[in-house]
Amino acid sequence: MHETVIANKIIEDAKQHGEIKSAVIEVGELAHITAEELRETLSNMVNWKLTITEKKSKVKCDCSYEGIPKIIERKHDLLYFECPDCGKVPSVLEGNQIIIKEVEV
């Protein structure tokens, strides 16, 4: 279960700041797990007040398209997306990371 591995890393990183009361986490639309999957997993692992938001993605394609990709399929540990203009696989500019934005200790 990769969501547990990701959640454990977030917990480990956050605890470097002390005993956590709350955390704000940003999950990119193209990250390995969705914001909802992370929320569910973390809620079962910690008693922090969690604010988890999704960041929209932005891609750039060789065809000159720059913007939001077309997500073709998303399943557990699987994400296919393409350029909405030409159908090729674009480069991700943003929206593929999970970031701890804020912690309250």
Distance between alpha carbon 35 and the CA centroid of its chain, in Å?
6
More confident residue, 53 or 17: 53
Q: Are 79 and 73 in contact (CB under 8 A)?
A: yes
More confident call, 2 vs 4: 4
Q: What local confidence, expressed as pLDDT, does residue 28 receive? A: 96
Which stretch of 6-10, 63-67, 73-77 has the lowest confidence by average pLDDT? 73-77
Residue 46 pLDDT greater than 90, yes or no: yes
Q: Which CATH number applies to 2-104?
A: 3.30.2320.80
pLDDT score recorded for residue 78: 84
Residue whose tokens read 């999950």: 27
**Exposed (0-12), middle (13-18) or buried (19+): which is 69, by Cβ within 10 Å?**
buried
Largest CA distance in the chain: 49
* pTM for this model (two decimals): 0.87
What the block records as the tokens of 54 is 């999704």
Mean pLDDT of the chain: 94
